Amino acid sequence: MLAPLEAKCQLLVKSTKEFKSKFMTNSPKFDISKHKIVSYDCVQLYTNVNTQMVVDFMLELIYENPSDFFNEGYNTVDDKAILIQHPTKRIFKNFINDVLLNFNNFSTINNYYQQIQGLGMGSRLSSIISNLYVWLMEKSVITKHLYYYK
């Protein structure tokens, strides 16, 4: 359901193969005397993601056009068709927060633990949410400088 949000990440590159393809497409614009290729590695990204900031950002994107993310339809109860609407922003925010933090438990050989901040390793949502988090950082730092290099 949240996967379409990743498509909004303008600078996202998911593999070295994709990086090579994008670089080769733009290589005629690359001038070694003016440009540098820089790669950053985020240390402990998942546990350092500000989940509240990303959840608020996700909600902004989702509720611009909720029908792109929620399947609305009808359910029949006592021979009456009842419209099933998308959840309110507040209800969906509580649901996402519960999934990310309140119900995100894991175990080790020694004990059971609950994720109290950031994102859990192995969670299906973690990669999408971390990509959105990095995109928020890129938007505030990198994209405002891109027009210089077009």
User: Maximum CA pair distance of the chain?
Assistant: 73
- Residue 107 has what pLDDT? 78
Candidates 51, 54, 61, 70; CA nearest to 1 is: 70
Give the integer Cα–Cα distance in Å for 67 and 15.
30
- Per-residue pLDDT band for 147 (boundaries 50, 70, 90) equals low
User: Is residue 148 scored above 70 in pLDDT?
Assistant: no
Least-confidence region, from 108-112, 134-138, 141-145: 141-145
Number of other CB atoms surrounding residue 19 within 10 Å:
13
* Mean pLDDT of all residues belonging to the chain: 83
**Tell me: the pLDDT tens digits for 68-121?**
888 877 777 888 888 888 899 999 999 988 888 777 777 788 888 777 788 877
- Residue 63 has what pLDDT? 93
Give the integer Cα–Cα distance in Å for 140 and 118.
20
Least-confidence region, from 9-13, 53-57, 85-89, 130-134: 9-13
Residue ranges covered by each domain of the chain: 27-149
**Structure tokens, 75:** 């359910």
User: Is residue 30 scored above 80 in pLDDT?
Assistant: yes
Rg (CA), the chain: 20
Looking up tokens 């996202």 gives: 12
